[in-house]
Structure 1
Amino acid sequence: MKNKKSFLIAFALVGLSLLPMTVQAQLPGFMDDVDDETPAAPIDGFISLAILMGGIIGYRKLKDDKTQH
């Protein structure tokens, strides 16, 4: 009984996952009051500093891991 129930649940999940589904996050197009010409949040100079700091931290962690083994 348990095997049959598990099989039916698995079969239903596989069957439902194979059905084509169309999902849209919002209606197509923009409202009239939306300014889509200017970027919402410009990327400033701190992103390069964050990438540099992330690289330094990652390098130190890799270096520490190799010395411990």
Structure 2
Amino acid sequence: MAEKNYRSAETGEYVTEEAAAENPKTTLGEDEPHGGDNRRDRSAITGHFVKPETSRRHPDTTVTENQ
């Protein structure tokens, strides 16, 4: 099983597992890094994909990924 990485929805930077546990509403867990040019936005609170417009309105709680 791949190791899980955690990313801050506020900064987009990777954070430690401990930081993720302390900030679950603004941290997204990723099973593997994403490569490529296709953008997709995800809510750090629900984990669901959202539209880019939603991501722009809520930059502190969404993460932009490439698939």
Higher helix share: 1
Query: What is the TM-score of this pair, normalised by structure 1?
Result: 0.14
CA radius of gyration, larger in? 1
Query: What is the TM-score of this pair, normalised by structure 2?
Result: 0.15
Higher relative contact order (CA 8 A, sep 6+): 2
Higher strand share: 2
